[in-house]
Amino acid sequence: MRKVEAGEICTGVVVSKTAFGIFIDVGAGKDALLHRSNLRGNNRNLREQRYEEIQAGDELMTEVIEVENGGRRIEVSEKAIFDDIAYSQLPLGEVLSGVVSNVKEYGAFVVLPQWHVSGLLHVTKCTGDSKEGREAYIRSLRSGDLVEICVEEIDHEAEELRVSFFQQS
């Protein structure tokens, strides 16, 4: 049994899942809680999808974010590690394939599955020769459609990782 401290990166094995999170054996003699809100993904839908993917026996890399009561309560985060990775590895300006998750009149939300990140493709950032053409393109999109986009901006200051996209002409 080893002692863990806040800030430590550790790999553990999923022991069980509950309605509020996942318990992971990090070798500290007490299972650590990975709360659903601390799963990787920059929005609730991606975190819920990640929750469904994880099964008992899976190995996860997490960061210890809180240790209380002399190590009897340990909380870990996957998000703390992977948001930083997404910040540093999302290629700005490169053409990437994404999946449309939701369409609104002002644009489409697109997921980059390999990073568990979603962002907005605003109607004004779509290809098209006219406002009407760009609006028609957005209206034609459906959830599940593949689109080619480029990462325009990553907002590091937002409470959640925010990513905006554009399309190349």
* Residue 110: inside a domain: yes
* Residue 1: inside a domain: no
* Residue 53: inside a domain: yes
Residues 67 and 106 in one domain: no
Residues 101 and 155 in one domain: yes
pLDDT of residue 53: 93
Please identify every stretch of the chain with a pLDDT value under 70, giving residue numbers as ranges.
Answer: 1, 156-163, 169
Could you report the per-residue pLDDT of 45-59, keeping only the tens digit for each?
889 999 999 999 999
Residues 25 and 71 in one domain: yes
Domain residues for the domain of 155 are: 90-166
Give the pTM.
Answer: 0.72
Domain end position, chosen among 24, 55, 86: 86
pLDDT of residue 93: 84
Rounded-to-integer distance, Cα 109 and Cα 143, Å: 9
Half-sphere exposure of residue 149, counting CA atoms within 13 Å on the CB side? 28
* Residue 4: inside a domain: no
pLDDT of residue 159: 52
* Residue 2: inside a domain: no
Residues 20 and 34 in one domain: yes
Residues 80 and 94 in one domain: no
* CATH number of residue 122's parent domain: 2.40.50.140
Q: How many domains, the chain?
A: 2
Residues 28 and 59 in one domain: yes
pLDDT of residue 27: 85
pLDDT of residue 157: 67
**C-alpha dihedral (114, 119, 120, 126), degrees to nearest 10:** -40
Residues 81 and 94 in one domain: no
